[in-house]
């Protein structure tokens, strides 16, 4: 019996619909408690009162709620996919340029960069993601197209794109990220010009996906690195386990400890209000609601994930060998 078979005998999937309806009802009064990201002007224009959720199982089933098919700006969720691409290119050599410890600081903080000589704490804070983008900028003449084609294969959707409006809006206001890029360049930890890296970074952050697409895109992380739809072994099972460990410890910035306590899953958040979480051997959960908490994570999204874990008991599944 495989782990997947074990899971299917242990859960009663019709209940997933019920859990989603419960969560939808519970989150409705929560609109207005958070704040849509406004430091990127184009994101401030998003309608705040939206909520979507998608559950994808390794057996191919998918369950959705609310605005699960509405496109939203992936923002830092893109860092997960660019990191996977860079890891495939660099392997363990990537750890000479980026650390793998939680930063305990805001996603856009610069404070550790000086004492740690331009080596960012982890690949998911902005500084680390900029180094990842630098690696990919050296490798791909058109990183935006390379990332889109990777995501198109993973989602099985041919029509993914990045928003020129959001990318332009972020680039025009990217003073802090630009400063970080120059700072790392001064330490020799950027091969390309800060302008070229920022241009690619803003495009990758502007990539748009729906919850339904995002849940599919991350599915290989729940499945030992194998993307069933395309048949691609995206990462080895060992590398997949390690990416999930990084997502658990660093995927929600300085709220990673709180998220691990409340939700307990490898996950990645973004200031567009999306979160994608991995339940190894079971499936993925994508959730989106644009209002953020003080740390830049989706307020309702975090609540919905916590409630889903409570209702489903998935985090309590014991592995049968
Ligand atoms: N594009 C955003 C930035 O660099 C991404 C941040 C995020 O989603 N946390 O500020």
124 C-alpha vs ligand 1 centroid, how far in Å?
A: 10
pLDDT (tens digit per residue) in 109-124? 999 999 999 999 999 9
Compute the distance between CA of residue 63 and CA of residue 16 in angstroms, rounded to an integer.
7
Same topology for domains 3-74+207-319 and 77-205, yes or no?
Answer: yes
The pLDDT assigned to 135 comes to 98
Under CATH, what is the fold of the domain 3-74+207-319? Beta-lactamase (3.40.710)
Do residues 79 and 268 lie in contact, with contact meaning Cβ atoms separated by under 8 Å?
yes
Tokens of 312: 């489903």
* Percent above pLDDT 70 for the chain: 95
Domain boundaries, the chain: 3-74+207-319, 77-205
11 C-alpha vs ligand 1 centroid, how far in Å?
A: 36
Compute the distance between CA of residue 234 and CA of residue 147 in angstroms, rounded to an integer.
13
Say whether pLDDT at 11 is over 90: no
How high is the mean pLDDT of the chain?
94
pTM of this structure: 0.94
The residues assigned a catalytic role are 76, 79, 201, 253, 271
CATH class of 77-205: alpha beta
Q: Spell out the alpha helix ranges (H) of the chain.
A: 3-10, 14-27, 41-44, 77-90, 111-115, 126-139, 143-155, 164-172, 175-186, 194-205, 211-217, 237-250, 256-262, 299-312
Do residues 271 and 296 lie in contact, with contact meaning Cβ atoms separated by under 8 Å?
yes
Q: Please, which pLDDT band fits residue 1 given cuts at 50, 70 and 90?
A: very low
Instruction: Decide whether any atom of ligand 1 lies within 6 Å of the 174 Cβ.
Output: no
Tokens of 176: 């802090």
Cβ-based neighbour number of residue 142 at 10 Å: 11
The pLDDT assigned to 319 comes to 53
The terminus-to-terminus CA distance of the chain in angstroms comes to: 9
């Amino acid at each position: 019996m495989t782990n997947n078979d074990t899971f299917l005998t242990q859960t009663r999937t019709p209940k997933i619909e019920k859990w989603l309806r419960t969560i939808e009802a519970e989150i409705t009064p929560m609109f207005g408690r958070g704040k849509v990201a406004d430091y990127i002007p184009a994101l401030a224009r998003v309608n705040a009162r939206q909520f979507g959720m998608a559950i994808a199982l390794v057996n191919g089933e998918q369950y959705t709620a609310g605005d699960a098919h509405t496109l939203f700006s992936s923002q830092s969720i893109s860092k997960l996919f660019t990191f996977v691409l860079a890891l495939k290119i660099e392997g363990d050599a990537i750890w000479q340029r980026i650390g793998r410890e939680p930063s305990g600081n805001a996603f856009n903080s610069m404070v550790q960069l000086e004492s740690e000589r331009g080596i960012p704490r982890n690949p998911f804070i902005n500084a680390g993601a900029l180094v990842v983008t630098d690696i990919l900028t050296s490798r791909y003449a058109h990183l935006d197209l390379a990332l889109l084609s990777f995501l198109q294969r993973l989602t099985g959707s041919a029509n993914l794109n990045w928003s020129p409006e959001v990318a332009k809006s972020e680039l025009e206001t990217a003073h802090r990220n630009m400063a970080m890029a120059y700072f790392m360049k001064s330490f020799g930890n950027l091969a390309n010009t800060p302008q070229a890296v920022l241009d690619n970074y803003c495009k990758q952050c502007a990539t748009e996906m729906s919850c339904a697409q995002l849940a599919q895109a991350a599915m290989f992380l729940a499945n030992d690195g194998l993307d069933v739809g395309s048949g691609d072994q995206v990462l080895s099972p060992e590398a997949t386990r390690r990416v999930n460990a990084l997502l658990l410890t660093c995927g929600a910035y300085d709220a990673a400890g709180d998220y691990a306590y409340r939700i307990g899953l490898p996950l990645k958040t973004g200031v567009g209000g999306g979160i994608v979480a991995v339940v190894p051997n079971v499936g993925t959960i994508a959730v989106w609601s644009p209002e953020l908490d003080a740390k830049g994570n989706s307020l309702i999204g975090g609540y919905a994930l916590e409630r889903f874990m409570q209702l489903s008991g998935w985090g309590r599944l014991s592995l049968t060998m």
